[in-house]
Structure formats: structure tokens, C-alpha cells
Amino acid sequence: MSELRDGIMGLCVGDALGVPVEFMAREDLAEYPVTGMRAYGTHQQPAGTWSDDTSLTLCLLDSLSHGLDLRDTMERFADWFVHGAYTPHGDAFDIGTGTRMAIDRFLKGADPLECGGRGEHNNGNGSLMRILPLVFYLRATHGEGLAGRIHQDYRIMEVIHDVCRLTHGHRRSQIACGIYVLIAEQLIGAQDRETAVRKGLQKAAQWYEEHPGYAEELTVYSRLLDPDFANLSEEQISSGGYVVHTLEAALWCFLGTDRYRTCVLKAVNLGDDTDTVAAVAGGLAGLFYGSEAIAPEWLETIVRREFVEDLCGNAQRVFQRRRQNG
């Protein structure tokens, strides 16, 4: 059950590769492409510094290892933002608007499920970038083969949507998280990248098509659901902070490459929201290729690597025990 570490380290390394060049334009990166861990740049952080994407992922992972408790998860998000918990250097230097507003609402006493903005403009990639730990939690509590079970067990989708809602309450973001979790689960132990992604997409699309309120929103994902999606040209792929674009860009990089390294570097070099696109892509690539496929010099550069690995190891033990106990 090393898949937990594979996914989380894959995400963390992707994030750290993207941090120094966040917001850089694609044309500028084309002249001086990222090929490994850089230092400083956009956020003036040393090499191997990971950002909110990893911090919030670790908050969720750590929270889930104590069971599903949305208030506890929000408290950890707040602890990250206010006190710099789950950070490489003790401060949260990068935060998205939607997440910031949600934490503010929580600190003012709002119910966790009412914290995430519900408007159409509240569809940044802030919930998608931290949703990966749910794959491991859901497998531990509901068994393997989640995608095959979502029609009998509504709770699986409900849990994904609720955890999304903590910071992002619009259905478009919830669908992105649902699609991502179902694809990620298909990738565990998979032999073929494309088949696994297609299966995850099909299962998600089928569920959403059958559920009013979600079905209408699914149209924004029509390009992703098209069988020719992977053949789109780079010019047709946007890599900004809009959740639909981030999911598209990450999957496009994952499908268009055949190694961890090339996948995350392609994601970073798309420019703009480099760390998040690479984190979202890196989570999938880590799961599929395994963390042994990540360059040792990249892993060694990760700041507080032991802290991250310990959180993974602890969560893994808890989930494994839960599975054994049924």
C-alpha cells in the first residue's frame, strides 16, 4: 500500500517544481524552461519549497487519519493559514482567494459546510489541488473499486463533494474533485494510463449525468470527456487558476507523457498556475509510476521531507488497519 506515499510525494514534488515560476508566461518559460528544482523566483523561497497545494493536502490527509471530521479539517486549514502549520518554513506564503475567504468565514463561526463560496466565480482550483487524500480514505472505508460502487453507495460522492465544499461550494468544483478522485483510484495498480483515465472519466460522467443539478454543469467538461481530448494542441490548453482549466491541463500533461519527470515538467512549463497544475498532474503521475520513479535529487531537495513522509506513513498505517478491520 505504498500508493499513498506515491500520490502525495508526486503531488508535493510537482508543487515544489512549480513554485519558483508561478505566474510566469508560457512564452517566457519556453526560452528558459524548468528542468529541475530551482530556488527563489516568484515567492523568493529556497529550492524544494512546497506551497498551499501540498500544505492543504497534508492538512486533509492528517485530518482523515483521525476519521472524517469536516470541522477538524477546517481547523487544520485555519491553523495552516494563521499559524503556518503544515508549511516548509513556518508561514503560508501562497493562498487562493476562495480558500482565504472560506477560512475567514470559518474563523467567524460559520458551519464548515457553509464556508466555501457558492458563486460561479468561486471556481478556482483550490479544492481540486488538495482532494487527493480522499482516494486513500475512501478505499480504506468503502473498499477498492470506488467507481464501480458509486451507484449503490451515494456516500462516496457525498463525501467528495462535502470535502470540496469546505472551501469551494459550487457544483463545478465538486465535479472536478469527483472526476479527479475517480481517475486517481483507477490509476492505482493500473497497467495502462489511457484506459484508467478513460474508465475514471466514464464512471464520473455517468454518475453526474444521472444526478440533476450536476448534469447541467457537466457541459463545461465536454472537452475533457471527448475521446480526442489528449490530442488537443498545447495552444488549446490553458493553465490558469480556473478549476476546469487546471483539471484539463493536468490530465493533458499526464496523458501526453510516459514518465513522472516529463509529466510534471510539461505541467510546470505550461506557465501561469505552474505549481498547482504540476501538483494535480504530479499526484496522478506519482500514483501511476510510483514514487521510485521520482528523481532522487528532487525528493532530497524537498524541504521537511521527513515531516511529509511521516504524515504519509502515519496515515497509511491508520488506513491499512481500518481496511483490515473492515
Nearer to Mg ion, 125 or 186 (CB): 125
CB 77 within 8 A of CB 167: yes
Under the criterion CB under 5 A, does residue 275 sit at the interface with Mg ion? yes
Contact 58, 84 (CB under 8 A): no
Stretch touching Mg ion by CB under 5 A, among 46-54, 81-89, 178-186, 318-326: 46-54
Three-state secondary structure call for residue 32: coil
Q: What is the secondary structure of 238-260 as a DSSP string?
A: --SSBHHHHHHHHHHHHHT-SSH
Check residue 3 for interaction with Mg ion (CB under 5 A).
no
Mark the segment that binds Mg ion (CB under 5 A) among 28-36, 145-153, 211-219, 267-275.
267-275
Binding range to Mg ion, per CB under 5 A, among 43-51, 71-79, 172-180, 288-296: 43-51
Binder of Mg ion out of 52, 185, 248, 272 (CB under 5 A): 52
Touching Mg ion, residues 91-130 (CB under 5 A): 94
Instruction: Report the residue closest to Mg ion, judged by CB.
Output: 51
Q: Name the segment binding Mg ion (CB under 5 A); options: 1-9, 47-55, 131-139, 227-235.
A: 47-55
Between 82 and 211, name the residue whose CB sits nearer to Mg ion: 82
Nearest distance, CB of residue 268 and Mg ion, angstroms: 12
Residues composing the chain: 326
51 binds Mg ion per the rule CB under 5 A: yes
Residues in 66-95 that interact with Mg ion by CB under 5 A: 94
According to the binding rule CB under 5 A, does residue 217 interact with Mg ion? Answer: no
Q: How near is the Cβ of 87 to Mg ion at its closest, in Å?
A: 11
Nearest approach in angstroms of CB 221 to Mg ion is: 23
For Mg ion, give the closer residue by CB, 3 or 94: 94
The DSSP code sequence of 154-184 is HHHHHHHHHHHHTTB-SHHHHHHHHHHHHHH
CB of 102 to Mg ion, least distance (A): 16
Q: Which C-beta is closer to Mg ion: that of 3 or that of 53?
A: 53
Longest dimension (CA), the chain: 54
Return the bridge partners of 242, or none: 124
State which residue, 129 or 164, has the beta carbon closest to Mg ion: 129
Interaction between residue 273 and Mg ion (CB under 5 A): no
- Please state, in angstroms and rounded to a whole number, the distance separating the CA atoms of residues 157 and 182: 10
Number of residues binding to Mg ion, judged by CB under 5 A: 5
Q: Give CA 217 to chain center in angstroms.
A: 20
Would you count residue 53 as binding Mg ion (CB under 5 A)?
A: yes
Smallest gap from Cβ 49 to Mg ion, in A, equals: 10
Q: How far is the CB of 54 from Mg ion (least distance, A)?
A: 8
Q: CA torsion, points 90, 91, 93, 97, in degrees to nearest 10?
A: 130
What's the rounded Cα separation, in Å, for the pair 50 and 220?
Answer: 30
> Quick one: 132 or 147, whose CB is closer to Mg ion?
132
Closest among 307, 252, 279 to 17, alpha carbons compared:
279
Coil/strand/helix, residue 319? helix
> Among residues 18 and 169, whose Cβ is nearest to Mg ion?
18
Phi, psi of 313 (to 5 degrees): -60, -40
Q: What region, left, alpha or beta, does residue 240 occupy, with left being phi > 0 and alpha being psi -120 to 50 degrees?
A: beta
Q: Is 272 in the site for Mg ion (CB under 5 A)?
A: no
Tell me the C-alpha distance between 40 and 59, whole Å: 25
For residues 295-304, one letter each, b for 16 or more C-beta atoms within 10 angstroms of the residue's C-beta and e for the rest, the string is: eeebbebbbb
30 φ, ψ (degrees, to nearest 5): -65, -30
Nearer to Mg ion, 51 or 269 (CB): 51
Q: Which is nearer to Mg ion, 23 or 149 (CB)?
A: 23
Q: Contact residues for Mg ion (CB under 5 A)? A: 51-53, 94, 275
